[in-house]
Amino acid sequence: MSGNAESTAYRSALEVIGAVEPRVATAIRAELADQRESLKLIASENYASPATLLAMGNWFSDKYAEGTVGRRFYAGCQNVDTVEALAAEHARELFGAPYAYVQPHSGIDANLVAFWAVLADRVEAPALKRAQARHVNDLTEADWFALRRELGDQRMLGMSLDAGGHLTHGFRPNISGKMFDQRSYGTDPETGLIDYDRVAEAAREFKPLILVGGYSAYPRKVNFRILREIADSVGATFMVDMAHFAGLVAGKVFTGDFDPVPHAHIVTSTTHKSLRGPRGGLVLCGPELAAQVDRGCPMVLGGPLPQVMAAKAVALAEARRPDFVDYAGRIVANAQALADGLQRRGAKLVTGGTDNHLALIDVTGYGLTGRQAEQALLDSGIVTNRNAIPQDPNGAWYTSGIRVGTPALTTRGFGTAELDATAELIHTVLSRTAPGTNADGTPSKAKYVLDPGVADRVGKQASDLLTGFPLYPAIDLG
Binding to ligand PLP by residue 214, rule CB under 6 A?
Answer: yes
- Smallest gap from residue 255 Cβ to ligand PLP (A): 20
Closest CA relative to residue 376, chosen from 444, 450, 325, 301: 450
Closest CA relative to residue 254, chosen from 285, 223, 213, 295: 223
- Smallest gap from residue 474 Cβ to ligand PLP (A): 28
Q: Annotated catalytic, 279?
A: yes
Rounded to 5 degrees, φ, ψ at 171 are: -60, 135
The Cα angle at residue 131 between residues 130 and 134, in degrees rounded to 5 = 100
Binding to ligand PLP by residue 103, rule CB under 6 A?
Answer: no
The residue sitting closest to ligand PLP, measured at its beta carbon, is 107
Q: Annotated catalytic, 273?
A: yes
Q: Annotated catalytic, 66?
A: yes
Decide: residue 476, CB within 10 A, 0-12 exposed, 13-18 middle, 19+ buried: middle
- The sign one gets for the Cα dihedral 196, 201, 203, 206 is negative
Terminus-to-terminus CA distance in the chain, angstroms?
6
| Parallel/antiparallel/unpaired status of strands 210-214 and 155-159 | parallel
Q: Distances from the Cα of 290 to the Cαs of 158, 306, 438, 472, in angstroms?
A: 23, 20, 56, 38
Query: By rule CB under 6 A, what string of x and - marks binding of each residue 261-300 to ligand PLP?
Result: ---------x----------x-------------------
Whole-angstrom distance, CA of residue 221 vs CA of residue 223: 7
**Residue among 11, 63, 64, 416 flagged as catalytic:** 64
Binding to ligand PLP by residue 351, rule CB under 6 A?
Answer: no
Binding to ligand PLP by residue 221, rule CB under 6 A?
Answer: no
Tell me, what DSSP letter sits at residue 351?
G
Question: Which of residues 44, 176, 182, 422 is near ligand PLP by CB under 6 A?
Answer: 44
Binding to ligand PLP by residue 166, rule CB under 6 A?
Answer: yes
- Smallest gap from residue 246 Cβ to ligand PLP (A): 10
Spatial contact of 440 and 428, defined as CB atoms under 8 Å apart: no
Binding to ligand PLP by residue 108, rule CB under 6 A?
Answer: yes
Quick one: which segment of 101-109, 310-318, 389-397, 451-459 binds ligand PLP (CB under 6 A)? 101-109
Q: Annotated catalytic, 241?
A: yes
Binding to ligand PLP by residue 369, rule CB under 6 A?
Answer: no
Binding to ligand PLP by residue 243, rule CB under 6 A?
Answer: yes
The residues carrying an active-site annotation are 64, 66, 241, 270, 273, 279
Please report, as ranges, the residues that interact with ligand PLP according to CB under 6 A.
44, 106-108, 166, 168, 214, 216, 241, 243-244, 270, 281
